[in-house]
Amino acid sequence: MDWHSWLADSGLTIPNSPDVESLIVAVVLIAGAIAIGWFAGHRAAPPLSDRLKRLGGRAAAFPEKVVAAIIQYGVISLLLLVVGNSVALSSLALMLLAVALGIAVGRLVHRIGRTAGLGKGTATIIALLALVAATAATLGGMQPLIHGLDGIGVSVGKHRITLLAAINAIVIIALLYVVAKAANHVLVHLIGRASSLDLAQRVLVQKLAGLGVVVVAVLLGIDLLGIDLTALTVFSGAAGLAIGFGLQKTFGNLIAGLILLMDRSIKPGDVIVVGDTFGSVGKIGVRAVSVVTRDGKEHLIPNEQLMTEAVENWSYSDRNVRIHIPVGVAYGCDLALAQKLMIEAASAAPRVLDTPKPSVWLKGFGDSSVDHDILVWIADPELGVGNVRSDILNRLWRLFADNQVELPFPQRDIHVRSMPPPAPTER
């Protein structure tokens, strides 16, 4: 079969003598649509890009160049679609118009897919499908194409899976993914800007909104794909057992994370101590809480562990934290002077608060030193406490050296007893 007969069987008619006047009209219409699209893109892109940046929150996600391209291809596609349905053209001119429309639609779909985060290969495949569909629809050849794709398939039990159904599923899933991702991003940004909610409430509402978007997308996908859920009732018992045993910890951590966000016992930015882990809460995720230590290590602690174990929250109701710094001085020094120097060293530290004021407690009399405890308050525990101790002790070392305050060292008294001479022995 030659290509003329194949196109004729597909619903496309190729004339033997091209209509030059109709071709010129088609070229002029295509050029006009391109010019109008280019003008509209360059005029509308700057304000629309700024608007999308404020709405989406990420400047890199909506560059002006990408927004201009989407507007251009969208306007070109719309104008060519209107022209193809309103102007009477010859078959060859209509084919030229259909190819131009298909290219514009393909480029539009490719740009949108890449902006939404699809991979280059996936976006290209979807764009090619859109190009073929738009071209065939303009030429009136969709019905033969649809019948041909619907005729290719396999039967599985009472159901038949065709190539057309597979293509529809791919397109629907891709569209739902793009729309759900964009909707979730916009909702997260809008909720993050809500000044009436505190940080923990914003995180909770963002997670609930994300779950809602996913649920709505799944339900729409099931409805659009025509999946019969009654066929899955046989597996409901097995699925329940799998969730009960295999996913018990996963759902437990999910519920625990939501509870932590609702009761606000642990919030992003809090300084907590869990076991041997000390650090600030960076993120409360679906499965675990991220705790960043002063060493730059990020510990992922399961949400359920924070619900069942004892947790020290240094900033639960008040961010002011008191630090204990043990110091010992020798017995022969002036205690009043030593305590005065301790207060001076503590007050000179930049992170130590003026109110409450630093204080010194006499703890007891040790074996070789008089033991004291310097008590200071800080308001930024997330910056660490070890550096505050080091700063105060360094200052105190210099002050003790300048004022002849002696630091203790272990001292022991050794008593040597005289022993009786050994008894004489016979040779």
pLDDT in tens, 162-201: 666 676 777 777 777 777 877 777 777 777 776 666 666 6
Give the chain's domain count: 3
Stretch 26-30: mean pLDDT? 78
DSSP 94-151: HHHHHHHHHHHHHHHHHHHHHHTT--HHHHHHHHHHHHHHHHHHHHT-HHHHHHHHHH
In this structure, the answer to whether residues 52 and 124 fall within a common structural domain is: yes
**Mean of the per-residue pLDDT values of the chain:** 76
pLDDT in tens, 274-283: 888 888 888 8
Q: What is the CATH number of the domain that holds 285?
A: 2.30.30.60
DSSP 184-225: HHHHHHHHHT-TTS-HHHHHHHHHHHHHHHHHHHHHHHHHHH
In percent, how much of the chain has pLDDT > 90?
12
- 88 with 126: CB under 8 angstroms? no
In this structure, the answer to whether residues 20 and 118 fall within a common structural domain is: yes
In this structure, the answer to whether residues 282 and 325 fall within a common structural domain is: no
pLDDT number for residue 373: 94
Reported confidence tier of residue 240, pLDDT bands at 50, 70, 90: low
pLDDT number for residue 59: 44
In this structure, the answer to whether residues 144 and 10 fall within a common structural domain is: yes
pLDDT number for residue 60: 45
Reported confidence tier of residue 324, pLDDT bands at 50, 70, 90: very high
Does a structural domain hold residue 103?
A: yes
**Sheet of strand 298-302, all strands in order from the earlier edge strand to the far edge:** 298-302, 288-292, 277-284, 271-274, 312-313
In this structure, the answer to whether residues 389 and 295 fall within a common structural domain is: no
The answer, yes or no, to whether residue 253 has pLDDT greater than 50, is yes
Does a structural domain hold residue 418?
A: no
Does a structural domain hold residue 212?
A: no
Stretch 364-390: mean pLDDT? 88
Least confident of 171-180, 242-251, 284-293: 242-251
Does a structural domain hold residue 59?
A: yes
User: Which is more confident, 420 or 40?
Assistant: 40
pLDDT number for residue 151: 60
DSSP 154-180: EEETTEEEEHHHHHHHHHHHHHHHHHH
In this structure, the answer to whether residues 119 and 258 fall within a common structural domain is: no
In this structure, the answer to whether residues 37 and 141 fall within a common structural domain is: yes
In this structure, the answer to whether residues 355 and 308 fall within a common structural domain is: no
Please report which helix (H) or strand (E) contains residue 8, including its range.
helix 3-9
Does a structural domain hold residue 39?
A: yes
Does a structural domain hold residue 176?
A: no
In this structure, the answer to whether residues 41 and 75 fall within a common structural domain is: yes
The answer, yes or no, to whether residue 358 has pLDDT greater than 80, is yes
In this structure, the answer to whether residues 326 and 302 fall within a common structural domain is: no
State which of 72-81, 84-93, 223-232, 318-327 shows the largest mean pLDDT: 318-327
Does a structural domain hold residue 307?
A: yes
User: Which is more confident, 304 or 413?
Assistant: 304
Q: How many other CB atoms are found less than 10 A from the CB of residue 69?
A: 20
pLDDT in tens, 390-427: 999 999 999 999 998 888 877 666 777 766 677 676 65
Q: Supply the range of the domain harboring residue 389.
A: 321-402
